[in-house]
Amino acid sequence: MRMLKMVSLAFLASSAMASSVTVSPNDPSGIVRSIVTNPAAKLNKVLITEIDGVLVHQHDGPYWLAPGKHQLKLAPVFSDLTGTVGSISNNHHKSHPLFELNVEQGKTYTLAAKQTDAHLNTWKAVIVSEKTTR
């Protein structure tokens, strides 16, 4: 029972931390989210693991962020043409720098991991689309 309480408290604390970097959809904001994998375009899903140094747990988003510059820590999820999902490579994640995004009010940004070689050894974070939503 004590373990359950500790896990519950940890979850509540992490939720509170994540909400400190996001804003209400009613506030001036932009939206950041991830895409579904598209192997034909060499675009893979990317997990958003941190925003401005704060761990987040709903890795796909959407996240409503205040306008301005934000640092995102991302991790790619690679899959093959059959749709089989591969594991996230910590080496790729550690070697990839933080992704800086200048969020504008009323825009939605869709992010992905773009393969830069045939063997999934390298990738880069890309903005797949940027749409005005409000």
Residue 59 is predicted with a pLDDT of 74
Residue 57 is predicted with a pLDDT of 81
- pLDDT-flagged residues of the chain (< 70): 1-20, 79-97, 119-121, 134
Place of tokens 């591969």: 86
Residues near 78 by beta carbon (within 8 Å), at least 6 away in sequence? 44, 85, 86, 89, 113, 115, 120, 123
Instruction: Using DSSP bridges, classify how beta strands 99-103 and 68-77 pair: parallel, antiparallel or unpaired.
Output: antiparallel
Residue 73 is predicted with a pLDDT of 92
* Domain limits for position 113: 2-132
Number of domains in the chain: 1
Residue 38 is predicted with a pLDDT of 80
